[in-house]
Amino acid sequence: MSTIPKSGINAKIPLLPERASITRVIQETPAVRTYRLVFDDPGMMAAFSFEPGQIGQMSILGAGESTFAISSPPSQKDYIQFSVMKTGVVTTAIHELSAGDRVAVRAPMGRPFPVNAWKGKDIVIAGGGIGMAPLRSLLMHLLDHRGDFGRIQAVYGARTPADLCFAGDREEWERRDDIEFIATVDSGHPDWSGSVGVVPGVLESMSPPPANAVAVTCGPPVMIKYTLESLEKLGFAADQVFTTLERRMKCGVGLCGRCNVGAKYVCTDGPVFSLRDLRALPDEL
Amino acid sequence: MRFIAEDAIPRLLEHLAGGGRTVWAPRVVRDSVNTVLFAPWSAGEPVETGAYTHLSAKAALLPPTERLFGFGYLQAAGEERIELEPEEPEESPVLFGARVCDARALAALDALFFPASGGFNDPGYAGRRSGLTVITLACTTCDSACFCSSFGKGPAETDGSDLILYPVANGFLAEPVTDAGSELVRLDLFQDSRLEKPELAVTARVETAGLREKFIDLFSDIDLWRQVSEKCLSCGFCAYACPACHCFNIFDEMSGDREGERCRSWDSCMFYSYTLETSGHNPRPEIAHRYRNRIGHKFSYFPANRGEILCTGCGRCIRGCPAGVDIREVIRTVQER
Ligand SMILES: Cc1cc2nc3c(=O)[nH]c(=O)nc-3n(C[C@H](O)[C@H](O)[C@H](O)COP(=O)(O)OP(=O)(O)OC[C@H]3O[C@@H](n4cnc5c(N)ncnc54)[C@H](O)[C@@H]3O)c2cc1C
Ligand code: SF4
Ligand code: SF4
Ligand code: FES
C-alpha cells in the first residue's frame, strides 16, 4: 500500500528528518515565500531524486513540521524548493527564515503525477493560488522533456496580480511558443494587461480537446470544484483528470492515521489522485 | 501440563525482572476508585491477577508520550548547526497478566510499527517489541461488556502470547505458546500437574462478517451515524482505553531556547482538532463524522489495508465511556440496516 521514501529521508527511521540549510528565499507575493534548500549531507543531496507531485515535510525544530509540495523540477539537482504560504504557527516560523538558516526536511513522500503514463498525450494544467506549487514542478518537468508530450495548455489564476507567484517562470512560459500559458486574476489592476477571469472560465475559453489528453488541477477547493465541472463540459472523462488532495498530516508515511479519506491515506496513496479514484472514495473531503 | 502456585507469582516476576527488564503487570494504581492499570512493577508490589484493567496493555509498547529525538541549535565557529539525537531504543519489557484481548491486538500494531510483520521501522516500538515476552491470563469469567467471542477463537485465542496461565485452585496451569514460553515453564517455580484446563468464559457476540463492505454501503447514511453517536461527547477515552487504537500526534517541546525534543503522543480521531485544517475547514466537523471514522477504521479500512480488525472485543470502551456508548449496539444497528 505504502511507498517508503528511498532517498532524502533517513529511510531507516521514517520520522527522523535530515538536516538542511536554506540557500535562498524569494518573496513571491505578500503571503508566499519560496525557499530553496540543500541537505547538509552532500551525499544525501546527490542521491536525492523525486517526481513531480511528491511532497516533503519541512521542520523548524521547536515550532513543528509542515507538509509542502516540492515546487522545483526533478532536473534541478542544486536545490529542493518549497513555496510556503504563511497561515499558522509553523508557516509563520518558516517566513522568518533567511538564507543560511538551518531546517530539517523529510522528502520525498507520496505518490507523484503518473507522468510516464502521459507520454504522447496533450496536457492541460489548471492551477490556482498556492496550488500552483506542485504544478510548477510538473510544468517544468514537461518542458524538460518537451518532445515526449503533445500540446501543453496551462492556466494559472490568483485573486489579484500581486498574488501571482513565480514571476520569472511566468514570463518564460508566456514567451515560449511550445506551450500556451495564460495567467489570470479574479480582479484586475491598472497595471495588469493580462487576463481577468476565474480559472474555469479561462480554461473553457482555451477549449482544450479531450481526445488523447489529460488534465491536472490543483488549487483552492472552490476553484477545483468549478474546474472539474468545466473539464467535464469540455468532454474530459474521470480517468483523464488528476488533482491533489490536502489533509492535515503528521507522519507523512501512513502511520499516524491522520490523513485518511476512507481506506486511503493522502500521504502515501496520494496526494495525487485521478478523478476516477476520488469518486471511489467515501465522500468526506 | 505445568502448574505455578499463586504465591510463586512474585518470584516469577522477580525472575523476569532479574535481567534488568521492565515487568509490566496489572496493579491497583489508585485505591480510592480501585483503578487497575498496567504499570511497571517492582519487587514487593502486589499484582492484581483477578481484576480487569481499565486501560489496555498497549502503553508497554506505545507509551502515551514518547520522545522521537532530541535536537539542539549549536553555535560553532560563528555558524549555527543543528544536532539531532535519535532516541535510543529501550530494552523489550515483559508483559505479565495481559488478557487475550490485549495480546491479540499486537498483530494489528505489529502490522504498522514492526518491520518483521511488514510494518515501518519504528525504532521505539520495534525495540520494545522485538524481545517482548507476553504472559497472558486466560479468562474463566467475563463481564457484561466483554465480547471477544465475536473474534476468532475468542477467549481461547493464543495469538500474541508466549505463555498462557489458566486460573485453577491456588494457582495457574501454564501452557507455553512460543519457545520463550516453553523456556519459562522449565523453571522450578513450575511443577507438573494432572489438573484439567478450566472452562473458559463465553462472552457476548456481535456479527462482524460482512462489516467491511456494509460500512462502505452505509457511509453516506449520515442519519444512521448521527443516531448511533447521539450520546457521544467526543471525549476520546475510547481510543485511549483501546488495545488496537494507535493514531498519534507529533509535536515539538522546547526546553530553553536552544534545545528541545520532538515527541509523539496518543491521539484520537474523536477530537475535533484531529483533522482541523489551518484554513478552518474540517472534513469531520460533526461527532457523527468522527464516530463514523472510528467504526470505519476499525472494521472496514484497516481490514482492507492490513487484514486485521482493529477491535478485539475487550469491552474497555464500553465500560469506560462516560456517555454509555456501546460499540456492540452500534455494530448491531449497522448490521441490521
Ligand atoms: C499534500 C499537501 C501539500 C501541501 N502543499 C503546500 C504548499 O506547497 N505550499 C503551502 O504553502 N502549503 C501547502 N500545504 C498546506 C500546509 O501544509 C499547511 O498550510 C501548513 O501545514 C499549516 O501549518 P501551520 O503550522 O502554519 O498551521 P497551524 O494551523 O498553526 O498548525 C501549527 C501546528 O500546530 C498544530 N495545531 C494547530 N492547530 C491545532 C489544534 N487545534 N490542535 C492540535 N494541534 C494543532 C498542527 O498540527 C501544526 O503542526 C500542503 C498541504 C498538504 C496536505
Ligand atoms: S468514550 Fe464514549 S463519549 Fe468518549 S469519545 Fe468514546 S464513544 Fe464518545
Ligand atoms: S474498540 Fe472497544 S471493545 Fe474493541 S478493542 Fe477497542 S476498546 Fe476494546
Ligand atoms: S500523515 Fe500520518 S497517516 Fe498520513
Of the residues A244, A256, A264, which should be mutated to test ligand 4's pocket, given the most ligand atoms within 8 Å of the CB? A256
Lowest average pLDDT, out of A29-33, A113-117, A213-217, B51-55, goes to B51-55
Interface membership of A225 toward B (CB under 8 Å): no
CA atoms within 13 A on the CB side of B193: 22
Q: What is the pLDDT of residue B30?
A: 74
Conformational region of residue B258, where left means phi above 0, alpha means psi within -120 to 50, and beta covers everything else = alpha
Contacts of B183 (CB under 8 A, 6+ apart): none
The pLDDT assigned to B51 comes to 83
Nearest CA owner, ligand 3 atom 2: B317
Length of chain A counted residue by residue: 285
Domain chopping of chain A, boundaries: 9-109, 117-212
Determine contact, residues B74/B80, Cβ cutoff 8 Å: yes
Query: What domain range is B138 assigned to?
Result: 2-336
Q: What value does the mean pLDDT take over residues A18-34?
A: 96
Top mutation candidate among B234, B278, B282 for ligand 1, by most atoms within 8 Å of CB: B278
How far is the alpha carbon of A191 from chain B, nearest alpha carbon, in Å?
30
Residue with cell 505578500: A30
CA A178/CA A168 separation, integer angstroms: 17
Determine the Cα–Cα distance for residues B99 and A219; give it in Å rounded to an integer: 50
Distance B59 CA to ligand 4 centre (A): 21
- Using CA atoms in the order B141, B177, B309, B247, what is the torsion angle rounded to 10 degrees? 100
Q: Is the pLDDT reported for residue A10 higher than 50? A: no
Cβ–Cβ below 8 Å for B262 and A250: no
- Give the per-residue pLDDT at B119: 86
CA A134 to centroid of chain Cα atoms:
1
Q: Could you give the CA distance from residue A82 to residue A71 in angstroms, rounded to a whole number?
A: 5
pLDDT of residue B62: 96
pLDDT at A9 over 50: no
Q: Which residues of A touch B297 (CB under 8 A)?
A: 257, 260
The Cα A245–Cα A273 span in angstroms is 7
B10 closest CA partner among B18, B169, B58: B18
Tens digit of each residue's pLDDT (9 = 90 or more) over B175-187: 999 999 999 999 9
Return d(Cα B178, Cα B186) in angstroms, integer.
13
Residue A3 has pLDDT above 80, yes or no: no
In sequence order, the β-bridge partners of residue A214 are A123
Residues of A in contact with B120 (CB under 8 A): 4, 14, 253-255
Tens-digit pLDDT profile for residues B214-272: 999 999 999 999 999 999 999 999 999 999 999 999 999 999 889 999 999 999 999 99
Query: Does the distance separating the beta carbons of A1 and B247 come in below 8 Å?
Result: no
**Pocket lining: B322 vs ligand 2, CB cutoff 6 Å:** yes
Ramachandran sector of residue A197 (left: φ over 0; alpha: ψ -120 to 50; beta: rest): left
Q: What is the pLDDT of residues B107-164, one digit of tens each?
A: 999 999 998 888 888 999 999 999 999 999 999 999 999 999 999 899 999 999 999 9
Answer whether B289 sits within 8 Å of A1, measured CB to CB.
Answer: no
- Residues A61 and A18: their CA atoms lie apart, in Å, by 11
Inter-chain CB proximity A102 and B247 less than 8 Å: no
- Classify residue B204 by burial, with Cβ atoms within 10 Å: 0-12, 13-18, 19+: middle
- DSSP per-residue letters across A48-109: ----TT-EEEEEETTTEEEEEEB-S-TT--S-EEEEEE--SHHHHHHTT--TT-EEEEEEEE
Q: Which residue CA neighbors atom 6 of ligand 3 most closely? A: B242
Say how many Å lie between the CA of residue B276 and the centre of ligand 1: 9
- By the 8 A CB rule, do A157 and A249 touch? no
Residue B329 near ligand 2, beta carbon < 6 Å: no
Q: Is B123's CB within 8 Å of A65's CB?
A: no
Q: What is the dihedral of CA B62, B65, B69, B75, to 10 degrees?
A: 180
A255, A126 contact by CB (below 8 A): no
Q: What is the largest CA-CA distance in chain B?
A: 76
d(CA B226, CA B224): 5
Nearest-angstrom CA–CA distance, B279 and B273: 12
Across-strand partners of B49?
none
C-alpha cell at B264: 509523539
The cell for A125 is: 494544467
Any ligand 3 atom below 6 A from CB of B154 = no
Residue where the block lists cell 538551518: A102
Tens of pLDDT along B2-33? 999 999 999 999 999 988 899 999 998 876 67
Fold of A117-212: Rossmann fold (3.40.50)
Residues 6+ apart with CB under 8 A from A265: A1, A2, A254, A259
Determine contact, residues A99/A243, Cβ cutoff 8 Å.
no
Query: Quick one: pLDDT at residue A1?
Result: 34
**Domain pair A9-109 / A117-212, same fold:** no
Distance B331 CA to ligand 2 centre (A): 15
- Which of the listed residues B246, B314, B334 should we mutate to test ligand 3's pocket, taking the one with most ligand atoms within 8 A of CB? B314
A151 has a chain B CB within 8 A of its CB: no
Quote the mean pLDDT of chain B.
Answer: 93
Q: Higher pLDDT residue, A145 or B202?
A: A145
Give B59-92 pLDDT, tens digit per residue: 999 999 999 999 999 887 778 899 999 988 888 9
Asked whether the beta carbons of A231 and A184 are under 8 A apart, the reply is: no
B71 and B82 in contact (C-beta within 8 Å)?
Answer: yes
Q: How far is CA B179 from the centre of its chain?
A: 23
- Shortest CA gap B235–chain A (Å): 17
Q: Is pLDDT at A36 greater than 90 in this prediction?
A: yes
Residue whose grid cell is 530539517? A104
Pocket test for ligand 1, best of A66, A265, A285 (most atoms within 8 A of CB): A66
pLDDT of residue A11: 55
Question: What is the position in ligand 3's atom list of the atom closest to the CA of B312?
Answer: 5
**Which residue has cell 504465591?**
B7
C-alpha A74, offset from chain centre: 13
Contacts of A16 in chain B (CB under 8 A): 68-69, 84, 86
Q: Which three cell numbers stand for residue B88?
A: 535510543
Compute the distance between CA of residue B218 and CA of residue B225 in angstroms, rounded to an integer. Answer: 9
Domain total of chain B: 1
Q: How far is A150 from chain B (nearest CA, A)?
A: 37
Q: What is the mean pLDDT of residues A232-250?
A: 95
Q: Where are the alpha helices (DSSP H) in chain A?
A: 42-47, 89-94, 132-144, 167-175, 199-206, 221-233, 275-279
A108, A160, A234 from A206: Cα distances, Å: 34, 21, 10
| Cross-chain residue pair A261–B283, CB shorter than 8 Å | yes
Q: How close B41 gets to chain A, by Cα (Å)?
A: 29
A:B CB pairs within 8 Å: 114
The single residue listed with the C-alpha cell 495457574 is: B172
Best B73, B213, B248, B286 member to test A by mutation, with max A CBs in 10 Å, is: B248
Which chain B residue has the Cα nearest residue A59?
A: B252
ipTM score of complex: 0.90
Residues of B in contact with A257 (CB under 8 A): 246-248, 267, 269, 297
Is B112–A255 a contact, with Cβ atoms under 8 angstroms apart? yes
Q: For residue B217, what is the enclosing H or E element?
A: helix B211-218
C-alpha span between A18 and A102 (Å, rounded) = 11
| CA dihedral sign of residues A222, A228, A232, A234 | positive
B116 or A76, which is more confident? A76
Query: What is the separation of C-alpha B18 from the centre of its chain, rounded to a whole number of angstroms?
Result: 25
Beta bridge partners of B6: none
Q: How far apart are CA B56 and CA B42, in angstroms?
A: 20
Is A14's CB within 8 Å of B300's CB?
A: no
Could you tell me the three cell numbers for B290? 468522527
Q: Does residue A52 contact residue A72 with C-beta atoms inside 8 Å?
A: no
pLDDT confidence of residue B77: 78
pLDDT of residue A2: 37
pTM over 0.95, yes/no: no
Question: What pLDDT, on a 0 to 100 scale, did the predictor assign at position B120?
Answer: 86
- Cα(B313) to ligand 3 centroid in Å equals 5
> Measured between CA atoms, how close is A264 to chain B, in angstroms?
8
Helix (H, G, I), strand (E, B) or coil at A157: strand
Q: Which CATH superfamily is domain A9-109 in?
A: Translation factors (2.40.30.10)
Q: Using CB atoms, which residue from B73, B250, B252 is nearest to A63?
A: B252
Q: For the residues A37-58, what does the mean pLDDT come to?
A: 95
- Rounded to an integer, the average pLDDT of A54-64 is 96
What is the number of the ligand closest to the CA of A60?
1
Using only C-alpha atoms, chain A has a radius of gyration, in whole angstroms, of 18
B30 Cβ neighbours under 8 A, 6+ residues apart? none
Query: Cα separation of A66 and A133, whole Å?
Result: 15
What pLDDT is stored for residue B32 in this prediction? 64
Q: Hey, what's the cell of B141? A: 469469567
- For range B48-58, the mean pLDDT: 90
